[in-house]
Amino acid sequence: MPHTLVHRLSMAGPDDTAGLAAAIRNGRIRPDAIVAILGKTEGNGCVNDFTRGFAVQSLRLELARHLPTDAIDRIALVMSGGTEGALAPHALVIEARPEDHAAAGPALAVGQTVTRDIKPEELGRRAQAAVVAEAVAKVMADLGISDPADIHFVQIKCPLLTMERVAEARARGATTATSDTLKSMGLSRGASALGVALALGEVADAAVTDAAIGTDRSLYSTRASTSAGVELSGHEIVVMGMSPRWSGPLRIDHAVMADGIDIEPVRAALARLGLGAPGQLPAADRDRLLALLAKAEAPSTGRMRGFRHTMLDDSDISSTRHARGFAAGALASLVGHAEIFVSGGAEHQGPDGGGPVALIAHR
């Protein structure tokens, strides 16, 4: 049975691959076993955040020292821009090694796939959700996971619209869901998330319509995390769950935050992983927690727990940036450090103003 390894590597900048190079050099990471690298980079997380593409290019150059191009193409390189507040830039390198591990399953299983490029007119619409749903279902089958309840997180990098992509569609007589490039990020994230919801049976098939995407906040996935970027035209999808066909010491669980300070569900998930603590996670236990991945967004009502917030009124800074830093602070206070993966923009990812959280830990 295969087993999963997760390595968290600090980054001094989007082009910093020294940690990866050292881990490969000393044998801690096997390049041929890498299935995905998830990274937080210090850009603005918006349309013009080129730190994501810079990080992907840097990682590909380092991996090219060890792997042929076709092997690198099979690795999901998912970069999420924005490290507001004290969020620490870092990368999560995920390996799937083929040999058995002494610790029997079920255990953390991770698989990835890359979808076809979607057309500009498909973005933010039912067609995009259908592409994602089909891809997620295929990865689940590959991992030997038949029960959707055993899936705890699906991380997706999805495309966005640029003016060039909008113009290309119009030249063919097609119309896009929006011509606003920033708005297209939210629509793409939302459609991708509803694709996960369809694959996991979280929403009714008939409910996912073009009109519902980006508007019907009652429709959401409790395990989707989607991030949009200009650096791709398809989807890079990483599925994480517990599989009886996998071995090893790693486990994954998830929680759903109702808002950016709703840490108690996350504390409960930590307890299920054997990391229960009445307050902040003790320093002695922090090494067992390999990764925390979360989504964050500003409540659309303009209020949180009855009090007014101004995240949606700031014309200088996107609300996704406010929400990312805000939720990251709450989560960091719980686990004792800020090298955590918090992504802004949670359209159809958890309830309005909240978002899913996944935790990966040693048994």
Is 52 annotated as ligand-binding?
Answer: yes
Per-residue tokens: 117: 């490029």
CB 321 within 8 A of CB 188: no
Is 277 annotated as ligand-binding?
Answer: no
Is 65 annotated as ligand-binding?
Answer: no
Together in a domain, 138 and 262: no
Q: Which residue is catalytic, options 157, 184, 247, 319?
A: 157
pLDDT attached to residue 357: 98
Walk along the chain (363 residues) and give the pLDDT tens digit of each residue: 899 999 999 999 999 999 999 999 999 999 999 999 999 999 998 888 999 999 999 999 999 999 999 999 999 999 999 999 999 999 999 999 998 787 787 999 999 999 999 999 999 999 999 999 999 999 999 999 999 999 999 999 999 999 999 999 999 999 999 999 999 999 999 999 999 999 999 999 999 999 999 999 999 999 999 999 888 999 999 999 999 999 999 999 999 999 999 999 999 999 999 999 899 999 999 999 999 999 999 999 999 999 999 999 999 999 999 999 999 999 999 999 999 999 999 999 999 999 999 999 998
Is 146 annotated as ligand-binding?
Answer: no
Q: CA dist 189 to 155, 160, 173, 267, Å? A: 11, 9, 25, 27
* Bridge partners for 112 per DSSP: 238
Together in a domain, 120 and 216: yes
Whether 227 is catalytic: yes
* CB half-sphere exposure, 42, CA atoms < 13 A: 14
CB atoms within 10 A of CB 324: 31
Together in a domain, 56 and 122: no
Structural domain of residue 23, as residue ranges? 2-98
Task: Read off the pTM.
Answer: 0.95
- The Cα diameter of the chain in Å comes to 61
- The residue from 98, 127, 161 where one domain ends is 98
Whether 40 is catalytic: no
Is 155 annotated as ligand-binding?
Answer: no
How many domains does the chain contain in total?
3
- The residue from 55, 72, 98 where one domain ends is 98
Q: Which residue is catalytic, options 227, 247, 318, 319?
A: 227
pLDDT attached to residue 131: 98
DSSP 259: S
Q: Tell me, what CATH number does 72's domain have?
A: 3.30.1330.170
Q: How far apart are CA 123 and CA 85, in angstroms?
A: 31
